[in-house]
Amino acid sequence: MMGNTFALGAALGALVAAPAFAGGIDVSSDAIHSDDVVLVTYDGTPLDINGDGDVDLAVASNAGGVADSSRYYYGNGDGTFSAPELLSEGDSSEIAAGDLNGDTFPDLVQGRRDLTNLYYLGDSLAVAPGVDIAADAHSTSSVALGDLDLDGDLDVVTGNGADMTPQPNRFYLNSMTGGGTLSFTGADISPDADVTRSIVLADIDDDDDLDVLAGNAGGGNRLHLNVISIGTTVAFAPGPDFGDPDDQTSKILVGDLDLDGNLDVVTLNLPSAASSGVNRFFMNTSFGLEQPVDVSADTDATSGGALADFDGDGDLDLAVANLATGMPNQSPRNKLYLNQLTEPGGTVTFAAGIDISADEHNSRALAAADLNGDQALDIIVGNENQPDRRYLNNGTADPFTNVAPVIVDQAAALRTNEGAALTITLTDVTVTDPDNVFPDDFTLTAQPGANYTASGATITPDPGFAAALLVPVVVNDGTDNSAAFSLTVSITPAPRSGGSGGGAFGILPLLTVLVFLGLPNWRRKRFLLR
């Protein structure tokens, strides 16, 4: 569970609409069909492919062709990322991450539609080329990792099926040898053939093994209970279906919403002719999953999301990615629902959804992790045929409301000549901003003042003024201005032409005097008589 401390006391009330949103920033200029974005491994550990301590990003692209291949980006530790490294081409809806071969570096598993699924072994230098998990090819839309057979290595589970072609979901047991060589053996989870959009592994019945939850496009979501005991073969018993049979579930999330030690379930749903598309949650008790409760009355076309403690109060909140359908009552903005839990084991409710930003994209996926090391969980959103976007958490109870930047210091000495223009740049100031990366997309403006004129970031000292000048400046992060901060600019006198500074003697008169004093007396008399 992300966020394992709980602050006792009254829950936060529903948040008042904020005056401005934090600015979303493109992860890169890539505009692929992002169906999944991954920032953590199977157990919630931040994804660090190259072991440098920074959070990396993997993206599944649901479009064919090399240019639209799935990819990964190395993080820079400040919320920005390197240029992409491409994986194999082929329509892909999901990527999972975890250490398959026991070398401590996370590996990637790529679920592909109507092609073999692949795994990529990672190390500190690179990700190796993809290798088939098995020879079978299904229309895989979801992938999950976990130790199904309790042998200490990670196995693979796939959710399969296309709209017109229901298929069984599959699991592949990892038989890793002592040298780290991988071999997988596949089998159907059950005879059921569904169109599964989301597959999740979690210990729902609290018996210390991993069960399978399948989120389906109609027909009800399924729970398959793992009945293995140590030394026996993996097998699954059908558990009760959960959710409305008409729900078009796009994503299943699991987490302990009420902090009672049991993993609860959230289903994210798409609207259809038979279903409103409301998102739901199911509390897990010692008697199993309870009846669903609506997260809110919103009927948006939700395609992805994440559970994480975004406001830092110790419980899990819900952030969702919504499609821009153009339909009434379906917001194209991604939303955050803050958990209003007041005490462990208490009743779970969510505050009304608040927009994460003013962006309106066809958003298909959302992931959360601390991208810039400030202990607050940030968001990456995967968009269809538009650049994926990054939103930095400001570390407050309004985590994605923009916080204005602060100029904290002058970074460089500034000087110019009397009357000579000087352009002040962003490198001349030191700025802090919790939800934007300085100086990306920042601007600086010099404010009016005494003894100079200002235009944009350029100042021109008044003629005749040669002293220390105080110039207030502000920076803008794309949304809000900072408070003004006064910079000191040293103004030096302008060079003088044709004289020695304006005294009684210029250069030529002075030379004349010197020549006169060097003459003998009789020549001085003759000079004076002339």
DSSP secondary structure string for all residues of 407-453: EEEE-S-EEEETT--EE--GGGEEEE-TTS-TTTT-EEEEPP-TTEE
In the structure, what pLDDT confidence band is assigned to residue 178 with cuts at 50, 70 and 90?
Answer: confident
Contact 172, 134 (CB under 8 A): yes
> What's residue 508's pLDDT?
47
In the structure, what pLDDT confidence band is assigned to residue 520 with cuts at 50, 70 and 90?
Answer: low
> What's residue 230's pLDDT?
67
Reply yes or no on whether the pLDDT at 63 is more than 50.
yes
DSSP secondary structure string for all residues of 132-193: EEEEEEEEEEEEEEE-TTSSSS-EEEEEE-BTTB-B--EEEEE---TT----EEEEES-S--
> What's residue 512's pLDDT?
52
Taking the C-alpha atoms of residue 403 and residue 257, their distance in angstroms, rounded to an integer, is 28
> What's residue 8's pLDDT?
27
> What's residue 180's pLDDT?
76
Beta strands in 259-360 (DSSP E): 264-270, 280-282, 284-285, 288-289, 293-294, 302-308, 317-322, 335-337, 354-355
What average pLDDT does the segment 44-60 reach?
Answer: 97
> Could you read off the pLDDT of 228-255 as tens digits, one per residue?
976 678 999 998 999 999 999 999 999 9
What average pLDDT does the segment 20-35 reach?
Answer: 87
Contact 295, 278 (CB under 8 A): yes
- Other CB atoms within a 10 A radius of the CB of residue 19 amount to 9
> What's residue 229's pLDDT?
75
Virtual CA dihedral for 7, 13, 19, 20, nearest 10 degrees?
A: 50
> What's residue 6's pLDDT?
30
Taking the C-alpha atoms of residue 59 and residue 36, their distance in angstroms, rounded to an integer, is 6
> What's residue 239's pLDDT?
87
In the structure, what pLDDT confidence band is assigned to residue 354 with cuts at 50, 70 and 90?
Answer: very high
What average pLDDT does the segment 505-524 reach?
Answer: 52
In the structure, what pLDDT confidence band is assigned to residue 177 with cuts at 50, 70 and 90?
Answer: confident
Taking the C-alpha atoms of residue 454 and residue 419, their distance in angstroms, rounded to an integer, is 12
Reply yes or no on whether the pLDDT at 524 is more than 80.
no
> Could you read off the pLDDT of 263-322 as tens digits, one per residue?
999 999 999 999 999 999 999 997 899 999 999 999 999 999 999 999 999 999 999 999
Identify the sign of the CA torsion 257, 18, 305, 368: negative
> What's residue 20's pLDDT?
65
What average pLDDT does the segment 446-467 reach?
Answer: 97
Taking the C-alpha atoms of residue 273 and residue 327, their distance in angstroms, rounded to an integer, is 13
**How many residues belong to the chain?**
530
Report which of residues 361 and 176 the model is more confident about.
Answer: 361
> What's residue 181's pLDDT?
86
Reply yes or no on whether the pLDDT at 410 is more than 50.
yes
Taking the C-alpha atoms of residue 45 and residue 156, their distance in angstroms, rounded to an integer, is 18
The phi-psi region of residue 229 (left if phi > 0; otherwise alpha if psi is between -120 and 50; otherwise beta) is beta
DSSP secondary structure string for all residues of 77-107: SSS-B---EE---S-EEEEEEE-SSSSSS-E
In the structure, what pLDDT confidence band is assigned to residue 15 with cuts at 50, 70 and 90?
Answer: very low
Tokens of residue 5, six digits: 């401390």
Distances (CA, A) of 16 to 182, 320, 402: 53, 19, 14
> What's residue 129's pLDDT?
93
> Could you read off the pLDDT of 488-498 as tens digits, one per residue?
999 999 877 65
> Could you read off the pLDDT of 87-143 as tens digits, one per residue?
999 999 999 999 999 999 999 999 999 999 999 999 877 789 999 999 999 999 999
**Residue 34: which of 81, 72, 75 has the closest Cα?**
72
What average pLDDT does the segment 29-40 reach?
Answer: 96
Mean pLDDT over each residue of the chain, to the nearest integer: 90
> What's residue 287's pLDDT?
82
Report which of residues 278 and 507 the model is more confident about.
Answer: 278
User: What structural domains does the chain harbor?
Assistant: 25-391 (2.130.10.130), 406-492 (2.60.40), 501-530 (no CATH)
